[in-house]
Amino acid sequence: MSKKSKNHTHSFQAEVAQLLHLVTHSLYSNPEIFLRELVSNASDACDKLRFEGLNQPELYESDPDLRIQITFDKAAKTLTITDNGIGLTEADAIEHLGTIAKSGTKEFMSKLTGEQKTDAQLIGQFGVGFYSGFIVADKITVESRRAGTPTTEAVRWVSDGTGAFTTETITREARGTSVILHLRNEFEQYLNAWDIKQLIRKYSDHISLPIEMKKEVWQDAKEENQPGEMVTTDEWETVNSASALWTRPKKDITDEQYQEFYKHISHDFKEPLAWAHNRVEGATEYTQLLFIPTQAPHDLYYREHKSGLKLYVKRVFIMDDAEQLLPQYLRFIKGVIDSSDLPLNVSRELLQESRDVKAIREGNTRRILSTLESLANSDDAAEQDKYAKFYAEFGAVLKEGLAEDAGNAEKIAKLLRYASTGGANSANSTDTQTRSFAQYKADMKDGQEAIYYLTAENLATAKNSPQLEVFHKKGIEVLLMTDRIDEWALNYLTEFDGTPLRSVTKGAVDLGKLQDEEEKKALDEANEQLKPLVEKLQEVLKDSAKSVRITTRLVDSPACLVIDENELSPQMIKMFKQMGQDVPEPKPILEINPEHALVKRLEKNESEFADLAHVIFDQAKIADGQIPADPAGYLKRVNALLLG
Ligand code: ADP
């Protein structure tokens, strides 16, 4: 006797309701992906059972062969995807099929524009999973029983994909989950075995479990002049290859298969940029299949960003997001590692201490860096273009590696690209981040002893920086760095291939041999002559400037600010402040151009000396991309001088 179970209504989490609306509207033009998403979930559910079953074999009940089955009912217009994986309890169903657990969901939602094409791409990046069923179905019923729970404690979840869903307790013999799609009229094409098989081969062939469908046979017409027809039998047949993709020989795998596999593990709708698939033998043996995505995930910089690879041990799925298998700065890489040596019961804690894992991480890092290197150095324009795309998306993350992975800093440095003022031998300046340290070195002037660079908030500020004037005059190239991380990262890279790296905004200009004797003499003379002026400026500006000195680095500007070799730059201070860290702000050094008319005017005009001195200081600050400490005071002084 069964007591009548209660039917409960629940509302979707607000984000889910919003996502559902978008999914059905934006992905309408690419409906077939629903099957890949649902098969992918079914496969994950079986992986989870296999993993839990390692310690609790009773979870298999009496049904040890994991599989996915697809059936349809033409009369009822339903398509059903069934797995005998881990299953869901009622509480699981309410939680997992009613909320989105992913990090950065809110942030992601706020990026949506309401414009179909852009949103479809964004959603692709986010991954819609289960909810994609609503592209083709106007109602979804999920029936499920969690492995190991009584048959009377199964759940039915029903929703039309608008604001709410219902759940009730049901009786279900079979372990695992059936997702029953009540197809919209316009998607009845999916009630057709041939079409479904095509889709499985296209999207889900790499799934390591068998995907089964009822066998169809041709039946001749019973009467003459009548057409024959396909009839469905009761016999199951496997419609995919059912072997884990990474275990197959490379030569047997097509690009499309790699791409589909990537989409399966990454939930990304875009094709990967590149991949590397290898069987590594040696002290520890494993298979690595690593993908470089085309686009950075929206949560790459979130603390909760899930990074790492899927870990398998001898084909048994062990865990997602095994972050120990990659360094942090390669957290955007997706893929699978299948180890032959790790124990099946390996835990995250164990991974931390394992020497095998350390070897795998190093092997993965080497492989990714060499894959990037070959893209970057390729003669093939398409490959170079790929590298440029990669760099635009992930260049800033890669730079973290200079600090994190000192052992590979040299390799990483070879992969870095910057905008530049253009070298002595290359007439064009490069506004895009395409210039490498190696190219810079090859184009250095005779007698040049350092690689010069400038860090700034953005390219416009960098390009117009007064600090560049002497470099322009002498035709010396300067790399322009505008990623927020650049300055910090370069603390960890002091030289490239034996040549020191030198910031043009730190310390006095040191052009080494490029500075001729005459210039040195002129500087000495100016220093002597302008000593009283410098002292007076120092006195007037003592609250703002650490010191004042004469410079030869300026041509067109009256002054600029520099900081001492060992002090934090304004950009670094800004970065620390954004991270919530309080750091003391060092006073800058004011360098003045003895040849400039404004500086000469300082010498002559006693009455406006103080105003002019402050204006020159504030302008140097503005040229550096900063705001004067007292903007209103600055304007007042400028206006007084203009009218004066
Ligand atoms: P994702 O798979 O990216 O986590 P989905 O929206 O596709 O997101 O699924 C949400 C959750 O619902 C899954 O993480 C899983 O816990 C659960 N789920 C979905 N499909 C199944 C299934 N066939 N069997 C068991 N659990 C499932």
Q: Dump pLDDT digits (tens) for 11-31.
A: 998 888 888 887 777 777 778
Element (H, E) at 470: helix 469-474
DSSP per-residue codes, 288-300 = EEEEE-SS--TTT
- Residue whose Cα lies nearest atom 9 of ligand 1: it is 130
Beta strands across the sheet bearing 430-435: 430-435, 418-420, 479-481, 451-455, 499-503, 495-496
Task: For residue 453, give the amino acid letter.
Answer: Y
- Mean pLDDT (whole number) for 204-230: 86
Q: How many CB atoms lie within 10 A of CB 252?
A: 10
Tell me the pTM: 0.74
Instruction: Name the burial class of residue 479, with classes exposed (0-12), middle (13-18) and buried (19+) by CB atoms within 10 angstroms of its CB.
Output: buried
Q: Is the CB of 45 inside a 6 Å radius of any atom of ligand 1?
A: yes
Average pLDDT, the chain: 88
Q: What's the CA-to-centroid distance between 96 and ligand 1, angstroms?
A: 6
Asked if pLDDT for residue 559 goes beyond 50, the answer is: yes
Instruction: Name the burial class of residue 146, with classes exposed (0-12), middle (13-18) and buried (19+) by CB atoms within 10 angstroms of its CB.
Output: buried
Asked if pLDDT for residue 3 goes beyond 60, the answer is: no
- Residue whose Cα lies nearest atom 21 of ligand 1: it is 41
Q: What beta strand segments (E) does 146-292 contain?
A: 154-159, 164-170, 176-183, 211-219, 229-238, 274-280, 286-292
- Mean pLDDT (whole number) for 65-85: 96
The residues that bridge with 633 in the sheet, in sequence order, are none
Which residue, 85, 80, 84, 83, is CA-closest to 196?
80
- Mean pLDDT (whole number) for 497-524: 82
Return d(Cα 360, Cα 141) in angstroms, integer: 43
Q: What's the CA-to-centroid distance between 145 and ligand 1, angstroms?
A: 14
Question: Given the CA of residue 86, which atom of ligand 1 is nearest to it?
Answer: 25
Asked if pLDDT for residue 539 goes beyond 90, the answer is: yes
Residue 100's pLDDT is 78
Tell me whether strands 589-592 and 559-562 are parallel, antiparallel or unpaired. antiparallel
Look at 370 and 602; give whichever has higher pLDDT. 370
Q: Is the CB of 88 inside a 6 Å radius of any atom of ligand 1?
A: yes
Confidence band, pLDDT 50/70/90 cuts, at residue 126: low
Pocket test for ligand 1, best of 13, 44, 47, 86 (most atoms within 8 A of CB): 44
Q: Is the CB of 129 inside a 6 Å radius of any atom of ligand 1?
A: yes
The DSSP letter of residue 563 is B
The answer to whether 46 touches 209, Cβ cutoff 8 Å, is yes
- Mean pLDDT (whole number) for 77-84: 98
- Mean pLDDT (whole number) for 282-287: 92
Q: What's the CA-to-centroid distance between 218 and ligand 1, angstroms?
A: 37
Asked if pLDDT for residue 144 goes beyond 90, the answer is: yes
Pocket test for ligand 1, best of 96, 97, 145, 319 (most atoms within 8 A of CB): 96
Look at 364 and 162; give whichever has higher pLDDT. 364
